[in-house]
Structure 1
């Protein structure tokens, strides 16, 4: 009996340390992705460009994720997950070092695009690796542990990076993110169990996911439904500074408020995702629309603006459920579907940042980003309704076939 308990403890420790290693990668990626939101005023001054133009670096990174996730997932379908994770994190680290070294607007756009290429594939492969370490009924909590790195990044990494940026400059911030990537590589080597690649995997089989209506509809839910949050958060620093009159010194605290909301949402979402995921997705989309509709009112004062930023972060409730939904409907194309989830979320990032910037550039004011968010949130609810209806018809069809 003692031997059995010791074995179980060792296994638990293996899972714990492996998830920690994978989550640190998420921490680095989350810091690298969201730090631009807090650095927009500094980057625009440094490169002598407008803040909406600086926001294009956000969209460029997001487009890198959109392109890189499916391409890498298909081409690396047979690669061992540990080897692939190491390769992706090394590329991410190199991209951030390149971002730290550039000193021109075109150079920054290119560097951020290249840095985004491994993002989606890393999270997709890491999600599959994390889910494989635990029983099926605990997948939601394992994925929440993985995504905790991303959400902690918004609470600690992004505010700390914003502080470093104010103390030194934005170049140092990206060098810091690159160092996190290198540390992640070392931890993956040490703690993530090796598992051979799937010799039966084939690019064409992975691409079969794109023929599955439920996969595509679920991806569209994330791409459209999450775009509203990014429309607001991409410009959260200038919005709070210009609308609420917030001091630049308080921007790291606003980032921390968003991060705290992300952590709370992720933990709640991980628990809920082990239940009925479609219901969770629909409820979260509705909650997000409500928060975005309240944002123009709450953003008028510093204190309520911080509350609104926290509530905006709770949109992360959606993340574990979207990932599990894709894993459940992807059949034999698990790697591509898991990676495409982050492509969808970064389509949301790029679309939200771009549309929010267009609204500001056209003269509607910083608060107009919230109304862009509401419109995208309502569109996401519409896509979800179509998804749920199609899923119900599929379920009924299979039930009739069984009888």
Structure 2
């Protein structure tokens, strides 16, 4: 087991990893920018190192400074959390060259799954169902028209190096296609420095289903069930739940088994999430995230397994602590992402939190790094914290969530709490009857 882990992140995920390390008796080091000097994870860590000014490129994305912090403090491993450098293959390679363990997959696996086209090819080879579309990047408009005609409109153009909804455009007819291609390429080049795009069939009313997987790097793989992340705004997840209200036991077991076998065959190490669009009983691979997800707590709630403990164990060479037959699912869990944003316009709302009170009681968990008097900086993601609620079934979970949202108090800034209070009372949400377009339609109707 590791002696000292450096946590290369900030906010609630840094605090989440820190807590797991303390439970395992591992010393902790956190890095921080000058803007985060008073952050909770900095206060609670065994050691802290300031690595630069507020802009991420000068601090949390500064690989040289983070490696230097490891060497100064004697950290023998780095946990990257999510975001920032968590899916940076170069970072993983550099740490390995310095004999520091990256708590995550190899740089090669990050590279494969970070390229959307190569990821799709790999998924297909591993037996994972994929969305019909081009086999690789599409460079000629004539070729694009041929592919679109073959799979049928509407189609979606996606950036090969994309993420977060950037470089994605929908074409409903051949007349739309040329403009969509030009726009997607331009956005992809501006956002990622790579204008390569590919084409897929655009599904009309799919759900977003993701499967939590783990590999030991030596040919063993397991799955921890699925999460439903269909409530999204501009391709950003807002509300996640496990298990999905849309799947039955047979579908759940089937897709989980497919993903676990694929991870084993790939020789993958650590945590990963294989994401699908699901429509009319069919699953279509869209991407794999080679890191811990923001919504991992709902999986922990229904399995009782600490996924960060599992990450650390696997990275240290201890292998997986469970076999597939050991993993059991209990009840239902929902996570709401509470952001420092206007609940309707989603305009960021940085500032000082004058009062912060979290709900409690059976089945309630709040992952947050803020406190009364904490100043939300304007430089980073607007996530304040995550409210995770667990119940014996979905009805009990929804009732408990309603109560917890009523107890949650964040004063001094605007937050998305009012949005969730509206959603929990909506009939479609109560019935689990929604798709990836539902929330944007709901918000548009309320304008």
Tell whether the structures are fold-level matches, with TM greater than 0.5: no
TM-score by length of 1: 0.28
More RCO (CA 8 Å, sep 6+): 1
Q: Rg bigger for which structure?
A: 2
TM-score by length of 2: 0.26
Greater fraction helix: 1
Greater fraction strand: 2
